[in-house]
Amino acid sequence: MSTETGQSRGGRIRLVVSYDGADFHGFARQSGLRTVQGELEETLTNLLGVQIDVHGSGRTDKGVHARGQVVHFDLPYGPPADRLVHVLSGRLPSDIIPISAHNVDFGFHARFSVVRKTYRYHIFRGVHPDVFKYRFSWHVREPLNIESMRHAASYLVGEHDFTSFCAAAAPQEDKVRRIYELNVVESGEDTFLYCSGSGFLQYMVRIITGTLVDVGLGTIPADAIPDILASKSRVSAGRTAPAHGLCLWNVEYPVIYGGRVLDL
């Protein structure tokens, strides 16, 4: 509902944003460092003149991008949701792009209401680096055995303890997560890994990607994945893929909150 001035009476807003993470120290606010959450909160606070706290669907690490990061925040008043994207587009820095905004009820939480997340990792396999891709992909010159990578990926689908595939210092005590899909897709000189799951541990997708690349290079056997999982030891898995090839691709919610939030 709008007031006579054209402003809404407030409420909870679900906002979808894309961002180039190259120049951010991750999503979560950190004192003295440029972050996506910090930029969003500063912009909204300056717009409305009151402190606005932004909550994200999850944290992305330094250098990681997002195509469909979902956040929510509560407004005491402000532009109607259908105008908010236009208003924010003129105020946010050029490396954060608002995609859509909707009013939601107060039961919605950008993080705790998530039922499925999808990350995409981009591997560029051209002979020479590509100036138009280097910020968003990992350049791997050596030939990769894609079928071996797919075979290895099949072992990771399902519910497992992913201690071997997360940062040794990851704060979560429970390392059990469920991967719904892990697909390796070729497109010319590009290879994409799409990883969908209920949630992810710190560096989990990057370590899975690095391990699958090591399988593709022949340094780790595809059939070694079950033993790597069972070891519950980070040193058993492969390398950690660089952050700049990773993108938070899509976040999904129950139908009562609009079902799939972004499907470009």
Taking the C-alpha atoms of 103, 106, 110 and 111 in order, what is their torsion angle to the nearest 10 degrees?
-170
Cα–Cα distance measured from residue 232 to residue 253, given in angstroms and rounded to the nearest whole number: 30
State the sign of the Cα–Cα–Cα–Cα dihedral 159, 164, 166, 171.
positive
Closest by Cα among 232, 32, 10 to 106: 10
- Is 203 annotated in some ligand binding site? no
Q: Catalytic pick from 20, 23, 53, 61?
A: 61
Task: Write b or e for each residue in 239-256: b if 16 or more Cβ atoms lie within 10 A of its Cβ, otherwise e.
Answer: ebbbbbbbbbbbbbbeee
Respond yes or no: is residue 61 known to be catalytic: yes
Calpha distance 223→1 (Å, rounded): 58
> Binding site membership for substrate: which residues?
119
Active site residues: 61
